[in-house]
A and B are shown apart, each in its own frame.
Chain A
Amino acid sequence: MTNDSLIQTLSTLLPDAQVKMGTQYVEAILPLEKHHEFMLKLKNTPELAFDYMFCLTGADFADYLMVIYHLESTTHNHIMVAKVKTADRVNPVVDSVADIWPTADPNENEAFDLLGIKFNNHPEPRRLFLDDDWGFPLRKDYQDDVHIVSR
């Protein structure tokens, strides 16, 4: 599917999402409360069939955190980026999609480990790389006087 028709299909299928062309791929910012339902649609709608999630990550944008999913369809060979913003940065919670794409399981753990994004209904929440009492290093306000030497 070309990017234009992908934008059209996505806008009709996901009425509450903001669909637009990003710098490289089609982007859809999904509403937080319907996020899981929409992601399920992306996987199960036959003309979209996004069955391969090749990247899941998060980013810190001062007022909120964002989870970014790169999705690809192995049958149609098209790519899109789904994004979801958390409500705030004190207690950022997003529904887990590990039941839709199993590869999201470790990647969500990584996002929790480095950015402190919590995932609802995650099958096995744990910190992957760091100790339990460590902060969340990829947040922009992260302070570490011991390990970061500034000149």
Chain B
Amino acid sequence: MEEIREIMLSSDDIKTDDYLVNMGPQHPSTHGVLRLLVKLEGEIVLNVQPHIGYIHSGIEKMTESLAYHQIPHLTDRMDYLSAHMNNEAVSMCVEKALQVEVPERAKYIRTIFNELQRIASHQLWWCAFGMDMGALTTFFYGLRDREDILDIFEETCGARLTLNYSLPGGVQFDIHPNFQRDVKAFIKKFRAKLPEYERLLTGNVIFRERTKGVGILTKEDAIAYGVTGPSGRASGFSCDVRKKEPYGAYPYVKFNEIMGTDGDTFTRYHLRILEMYESMNIIEQLIDNIPEGDYAVKLKGVTKLPEGEYYQRVETGRGDFGVYIISDGKKNPYRMKFRSPGFSNLFAINNIAKGWKIADLVAIMGTFDLVIPDIDR
């Protein structure tokens, strides 16, 4: 024992072994069943290897035996915080293939729902992110305000989380008579509440110290790794599908694509707060101008897409979501692929987290806003 001690003390270049730690699948900050195999030297992260598939549900395989009007009902189980956007993506892809023009009213309703959903998604992200960083108060504030949006959803389409609202041809039901009044009341209320969010977290010294300059993602890396959504825009990668390929009622509204330059954790955080303001601007421009008319066009009972390949992109709360259909002219898709934004974003974390402490890894992962069913599909 003495001998070993002497060797240990005399030698300068003795290092502790790198060790591997499993973060997850039950870790609270992974927000779902995700396992990160983290290679550590002391507290410093050397490598992060994500292991996924715990809730892989084989949606792409399932779609091959479903009709086109059944598929949207599966997609809101993937990214449950952007359920409406997922439904809309499938609907629009089918409409594009059939060359069906959706009524203006449906476009407006879909876009308002999109933005409400985006606010709700960012609210939940904000409150959970605060909790990751050790601030429990945010959780109550975020969930309190999110409740109002879910009530609006419930009133119109009967569901709070998995909306199932958008179907090929339009939306399932007309909006509730109180919809416009409630949305306006919510926006008025939330405009007053959002500065509270900023006071609680954005201005907090401890929070700023932990996020400013931490986990920088350069613009080149964001493009190379396919990091989209608020995380990509924080690095200066202009990737907003609403601007690039406007769909729904987005061509009729004026809004800014919020961009950052630094690409650090704080920019990714603050960009989402600013996006909530922008979403409210979009809703305000649309809510009083919803045109009268049908809310859907009637499609045939059995929808057969013409032979070919169709791709539809939408901007969800997490980024560039894509639906890719290869059709052979039958009533089921030959092959259907969902391009999930979370999947690409997750695999960029290894590149960013290297060299940072394990507590910073939690902060970095938090700002990527991972939703695991979206990644596993």
Task: Name A's B-contacting residues (CB within 8 A).
Answer: 22-25, 51-55, 57, 59-60, 68, 70, 74, 77, 81, 101-103, 105-107, 110, 114, 128-130, 137-138
Contact size range, B:
35 or more
- CA A24 – CA B226 in complex, angstroms? 21
Contact with A along B306-325 (1 / 0, CB 8 A): 00111101000000101010
Residues of chain B lying within 8 A (CB to CB) of residue A114: 60
A129-B335 CB under 8 A given contacts A54-B320, A101-B224 = no
Q: How far is the CB of A59 from chain B (nearest CB, A)?
A: 4
How near does chain B come to A9, taking the closest CB pair, in angstroms?
Answer: 21
CA distance A123 to B223 in the complex (A): 19
Q: List the one stretch of B51-59, B139-147, B169-177, B264-272 in contact with chain A.
A: B51-59
Closest A residue by C-beta to B335: A59
Chain A residue with the shortest CB-CB distance to B319? A54
A19 to B326, CA, bound (A): 19
Interface centre among A54, A77, A101 (most CB of B within 10 A): A54
A51 to B219, CA, bound (A): 12
Kindly provide the distance from the CB of B169 to the nearest chain A CB, expressed in whole angstroms. 20
Q: Mark B116-152, 1 if CB is under 8 A from A, else 0.
A: 0000000000000000000000000000000000000
Contact B226 A103 (CB under 8 A): yes
- Considering only CB atoms, which chain A residue lies closest to B53 in the complex? A129
B343 close to chain A: CB less than 8 A: yes
> Is B61 located at the chain interface by the 8 A CB criterion?
yes
Given contacts A52-B226, A70-B324, A106-B346, 11 further A-B contacts (CB under 8 A): A22-B308, A51-B224, A68-B324, A77-B244, A101-B226, A106-B344, A106-B347, A128-B52, A128-B53, A129-B53, A138-B61
CA distance A136 to B5 in the complex (A): 54
A103:B225 contact, CB within 8 angstroms: yes
Contacts of A74 in B (CB 8 A): 223, 237-239
Interface residue ranges of B195-236 to A (CB < 8 Å): 221, 223-226, 228
Evaluate whether A57 and B320 lie within 8 angstroms (CB atoms) in the complex, with A129-B52, A137-B58, A137-B61 already known. Answer: no
- For residue B250, CB closer than 8 A to chain A, the reply is no
Which residues on B sit within 8 Å (CB–CB) of A51?
A: 223-224
Max count, chain A CB within 10 A of own CB: residue among B310, B326, B376: B326
Contact of A24 with B310 in the complex, beta carbons under 8 Å: yes
CB nearest neighbor in A for B347: A106
* From A25, A53, A106, A137, contact of B311 by CB (8 A): A25
Q: How far is the CA of A92 from the CA of B61 in the complex (A)?
A: 20
Q: Does B311 contact A55, Cβ atoms closer than 8 Å?
A: yes
Given known pairs A60-B335, A130-B56, A138-B335, the reply for A54 and B322 (CB within 8 Å) is: yes
Answer whether residue B27 sits at the interface, using C-beta atoms and an 8 A cutoff: no
A57 and B239 alpha carbons, distance in the complex (Å): 21
Interface contact B309-A53, CB-CB below 8 Å: no
Question: Is B339 within 8 A of A54, CB to CB?
Answer: yes
B117 to chain A, nearest CB (A): 22
Collect the chain B residues with CB atoms within 8 Å of residue A101's CB.
224, 226
